[in-house]
Structure 1
């Protein structure tokens, strides 16, 4: 079993490489990382309350409002009143926003294929199990 120092170094190195890749992809799309993060969350959920989206992103509702204003101006999201809760605003992807989300998601899929191509099926299964356990710790 690897010692904690080695494991820490490998996790940090992977994070740095993944972050660098993500920043370069996002920059090519003309968006910020938080904007793409919002699109990713909305792409996996149909519509969310602004408060729910802010919580999932780990930002305040004030920060999200500024971000949502920019995404709405770019026609990537739309806000609408909640059907049953007059105090809530729902946010969802527009057609253009869904297209950006789909394109970005495909880039993630290709990256996954590229970085796991050298892993056997058993190694891929082990990686999935390890990542699931690690994600539960957050």
Structure 2
């Protein structure tokens, strides 16, 4: 397989996932970036701003704007770090947790749809490939 063909397939896969994600997020009143922030915090539990920025691949300034908005909307809150009083951790509120769980179920449903087209062996192979590729970034 040629790299150019693989590049085209990756772009097509990204566009389909992105389009699906945008359609799911559309009804929430949030941007995909804001929802992604909720997803990360939902999976991780508690994160410092710096850690959240690293996971999103943005600056702490950029993530601060997002967290400010999500805190104002009642999805996130800042809590003083247990060991470092100068630092805050970002956590989901009950409202944020509810949204995270609902949104995560959409991801599970999408994954079930994709998995239905694959054999068990192909799913294991796909999972291994995704893990390896995700480790590159």
Runs of at least 4 residues off by over 2 Å: none
Aligned residue pairs total 137
1:74, CA displacement in angstroms? 1.0
Q: TM-score, normalised by structure 1?
A: 0.94
Aligned to 2:84: 85
Q: How does 1:1-138 map to 2 (within 5 A)?
A: 2-138=1-137
Contiguous gaps of at least 5 residues in structure 2: none
How big is the shift at 1:33? 1.2
The alignment's C-alpha RMSD in Å is 1.1
Q: How far does residue 27 in structure 1 lie from its aligned partner after superposition?
A: 1.2
Deviations 1:51-83 (A, max 9, x none): 211121122222122111110111100112112
TM-score (structure 2 length as normaliser): 0.94
Runs of at least 5 residues in structure 1 that lack an aligned partner in the other structure: none
Query: Residue 116 of structure 1: CA displacement?
Result: 2.0
- 1:85-113 CA-to-partner distances (Å, cap 9, x unmatched) read 12101110001101111111100000011
Tell which deviates more after alignment, 88-97 or 65-74. Answer: 65-74
